[in-house]
Amino acid sequence: MDKERILIVDDDRNICELLRLYLEKEGYETFIANDGEAALAAYDEKKFDLVLLDVMMPRVDGWEACRRIRAKGNTPIIMLTAKGETFDKVLGLELGADDYVVKPFDTKEVVARIKAVLRRSGRNGGGRRTEGALVFDNLVVNITKYELKVRDEVVDTPPKELELLYHLASNPNKVFTRDALLDEVWGFEYYGDSRTIDVHIKRLREKLEGVSDQWSLKTVWGVGYKFELKE
């Protein structure tokens, strides 16, 4: 099995070396870039499974690098930030980051976050990402084309239904509350009823019922919903 590749981006060379040592010990292949410009060049040149991205860097900062990487594809991104303000966290997540770690950090925590993000992204869970699409058994959710394929047939799906399914399937086995799904799929400005989620889930289930025994849309009673992937 090929080693998973991680791009470490930080202008602090000591931090880069520390992360490299820990990650290679865990069996990952690592590459280092010391500014946003070098990170973007490396990203275009090689295929990575995850990017660890510092926020405060010369030339191109982490926010801009995150935005540009996300425009190119769905490679998971974890932001490294020296600031703990909510604004930074929210901005990073809105730009498409999958997680964030505040400095100073425990290297073991960073490794644990990386494993969790790779697991949620489908790298370790029976699914895979490819060019804006999530691919599972008998199911392809393509967010770039806004296309849902079930058993290789395109199924007509409204945009919000597709975005909801994509968000859930991007985070296999993670439970989301209705309010969290409203925030993350409809946006912070949406003040509609959380039953909107129930209606969309019901419609998705009608399209996906009996399609595969390897995954399913599950209700977690009293909490919300998850895209369950069989281990």
Domains in the chain: boundaries: 5-120, 129-229
* Interstrand relation of 77-81 and 99-102 (parallel, antiparallel or unpaired): parallel
- Sheet with 128-130: list strands edge to edge: 128-130, 133-136, 139-142, 147-150, 153-155
pLDDT at residue 1, as a whole number: 42
Fold for domain 129-229? Arc Repressor Mutant, subunit A (1.10.10)
For 5-120, CATH number? 3.40.50.2300
Q: How far is CA 86 from CA 33, 66, 145, in A?
A: 27, 18, 32
Cβ within 8 Å of residue 216, ≥6 positions away? 208, 227, 228
pLDDT tens for 39-49 read: 999 999 988 98
> 54: which strand partners?
80
pLDDT at residue 14, as a whole number: 95
Alpha carbons within 13 angstroms on the beta-carbon side of residue 132 total 13
Q: Which uninterrupted H or E stretch holds 135?
A: strand 133-136
Q: What is the pTM of this model?
A: 0.56
pLDDT at residue 88, as a whole number: 66
Rg value, the chain, Cα: 18
Q: Mark residue 102 as left, alpha or beta (left: phi above 0; alpha: psi -120 to 50; beta: remaining).
A: beta
Contact 231, 175 (CB under 8 A): no
pLDDT at residue 125, as a whole number: 42
pLDDT at residue 229, as a whole number: 87
Q: What is the mean pLDDT of each run of 10 residues along the chain (231 residues)?
A: 84 95 93 94 91 89 89 85 66 76 87 80 52 82 88 91 92 88 75 81 94 93 90 61
* Interstrand relation of 139-142 and 147-150 (parallel, antiparallel or unpaired): antiparallel
Q: What is the DSSP letter of 69?
A: H
